[in-house]
Amino acid sequence: MFDKILIANRGEIALRVIRACREMGIGSVAVHSTADADAMHVRMADEAICIGPPSATDSYLSVPAIIAACEITGAQAIHPGYGFLSENAKFVSILEDHGITFIGPTAEHIRIMGDKITAKDTMKNLGVPCVPGSDGGVDTVADALAVGIDFGYPVIVKATAGGGGRGMKLATSAEDMETAFRTARAEAKAAFGNDEVYIEKYLGRPRHIEIQVFGDGKGRAVHLGERDCSLQRRHQKVFEEAPGPAIDATTRAEIGRICADAVARINYIGAGTIEFLYEDGEFYFIEMNTRLQVEHPVTEAIFGVDLVREQIRVAAGLPMEFNQDELNINGHAIEVRLNAEKLPNFAPSPGTITQYHAPGGLGVRMDSALYDGYSIPPYYDSLIGKLIVHGRDREEAIARLNRALGELIVDGIETTAPLFDALLLEDDIHSGDYTIHWLEKWLETNLQDG
Ligand code: MV4
């Protein structure tokens, strides 16, 4: 096992990894920008090193600075958290050259899943159901129009280098296609330096269901069920739950098995998430994320596993601590994301926290790096905390969420907490009856969202 792990991240996820290290008797090294000198992850880690100025490009994304920090502190492994360098294949191969272990998948797996055409082709060949559409990339308007005829409109043109909603264009009819195709290509070229696009049948009212998988890198893999992350605003998730209100045990076992088998066959190592659109009882693969996700705690809550601990174990060559038949769901969990943003327009709201009180009690987990007097810097993501509740069933989880939101105090800045108070008044939230479009529609009518 490693003696010391460097955490190449900040905020709540850095604390999450430091906590796992401490429970495992592993030393932790925080890295930070000059803007984060007073951040909680710096205080909580065993050691801390300043790696650069406020701009993430020159600090949390600086590969030379992070490798130097490993060499100075003697850290043998790096946990990347999410975002920043977590899905950067180049970074992973550079670490290999330096004899530093990356706590995550191989550079090759990151590369495969980072290119959405290759990812889809790989998953299709592994028996994972995919959205009907073009066979690989589409190079010309004529080919795009042919795909439109084959699959029927509407279709969606997606950048292979995109993902997470970046670089997509809808074509509702053949008349739309040329513009959608050319715009998608031009935007992809500008945003990613890669203009390759592919085309899919557009699904009109799906849910976003993602399957948590975990591999040991040696041909064994399990699934930990699904999360329903349909409640999103501008491709940012705001409310996530597990299990999914629309998924029954048989359906879960079936898609879970397909996903676990697929990642086992490629010797995938560590945590991964296979994203699907789910409509009319069918799953359609869209993307795979090769990292620990923000919303991983809802899965941890219902399965009673520590995903970060397991990531560290398999990275050190140890086996996973569970088999598929030991993984049973206990109850229901919900996560809401607290952002330093002002409603109704979700404008960034950095500033100094004059008072912070985290909710507690049975079935409540607050993952946050806030503290009284902390100044939220304006340079990074606006996520300031995740409130995760767990109950014996969905109804109890919702009651607990309502109760915990009542205990939460974050003064000095604006947060998205009031959004959740309002959502909990909605019948559709109580019944679990929502698709990927529910939240945006609700915001239009309820928050005069811009
Ligand atoms: C789609 C789709 C409908 N049909 N693909 C957006 C993010 C990216 N991961 C995939 N996305 C979508 N792909 C087909 N063939 C609708 C979306 C989509 C979406 C997906 C998940 C969660 C929220 C969303 C919001 C708008 C569009």
Residues 227 and 197 in one domain: no
> Using a 6 Å cutoff on CB, does residue 205 contact ligand 1?
no
Q: What is the pLDDT along the chain (450 residues), one digit of tens a residue?
A: 999 999 999 999 999 999 999 999 999 999 999 999 999 999 999 999 999 999 999 999 999 999 999 999 999 999 999 999 999 999 999 999 999 999 999 999 999 999 999 999 999 999 999 999 999 999 999 999 999 999 999 999 999 998 877 779 999 999 999 999 999 999 999 999 999 999 999 999 999 999 999 999 999 999 999 999 999 999 999 999 999 999 999 999 999 999 999 999 999 999 999 999 999 999 999 999 999 999 999 999 999 999 999 999 999 999 999 999 999 999 999 999 999 999 999 999 989 999 999 999 999 999 999 999 999 999 999 999 999 999 999 999 999 999 999 999 999 999 999 999 999 999 999 999 999 999 999 999 997 644
In a domain, 335, yes or no: yes
Token reading at 119: 């990812």
Decide if 279 is inside a domain: yes
169 lines ligand 1 (CB under 6 A): no
Residues 213 and 361 both lie in one domain? yes
Evaluate: CB of 285 within 6 angstroms of ligand 1: no
- Mutate-to-test residue for ligand 1 from 227, 232, 282, 286, highest number of ligand atoms within 8 A of CB: 286
Residue from 123, 147, 151, 168 to probe ligand 1 pocket by mutation (most atoms less than 8 Å from CB) = 168
CA atoms within 13 A on the CB side of 419: 27
Q: Are residues 343 and 292 in the same domain?
A: yes
Residues 136 and 218 in one domain: no
For residues 41 and 139, state if they share a domain. no
Within-domain flag for 116:
no
Buried b / exposed e along 164-192 (16+ C-beta atoms within 10 A): eeebbbebeeeebbeebbbebbebbbeeb
C-beta 200 within 6 A of ligand 1? yes
- Closest atom, ligand 1, to C-alpha of 155: 15
Indicate which atom in ligand 1 lies nearest the CA of residue 232. 23
Are residues 215 and 173 part of one domain? no
d(CA 406, CA 426): 17
Q: Is the peptide bond before 243 cis (omega within 30 degrees of 0)?
A: yes
Question: Does the Cβ of 156 fall within 6 Å of ligand 1?
Answer: yes
CATH number at residue 32: 3.40.50.20
* 113 lies in some domain: no
Structural domain of residue 284, as residue ranges?
Answer: 207-446
Among 177, 201, 225, give the residue marking a domain's end: 201
What spacing in Å lies between the alpha carbon of 436 and ligand 1's midpoint?
Answer: 8
- Whole-angstrom distance, CA of residue 169 vs CA of residue 58: 33
Give one word for 79, left, alpha or beta, with left for phi > 0 and alpha for psi -120 to 50. Answer: beta
Residue 163 lies in a domain: yes
Q: Let me know whether 235 and 160 are in one domain.
A: no
Question: How remote is the CA of residue 369 from the centroid of ligand 1, in Å?
Answer: 31
Q: Are residues 337 and 227 part of one domain?
A: yes
**CA 277, 397, 235, 296 torsion-angle sign:** negative
CATH number at residue 226: 3.30.470.20
Residue 107 lies in a domain: no
> Residue 125, exposed/middle/buried by CB under 10 A (0-12, 13-18, 19+)?
exposed
Total of domains in the chain: 3
CB 385, CB 368: distance < 8 Å: yes
Indicate the residue type of 397: A
122 lies in a domain?
no
Residue 177 lies in a domain: yes
User: How far apart, in Å, are the Cα atoms of 297 and each of 111, 303, 388?
Assistant: 26, 10, 7
The CATH number of whichever domain residue 159 belongs to comes to 3.30.1490.20
- One domain for residues 19 and 138: no
> CB atoms < 10 A from the CB of 195, how many?
20
Distance, CA of 348 to CA of 383 (rounded, Å): 10
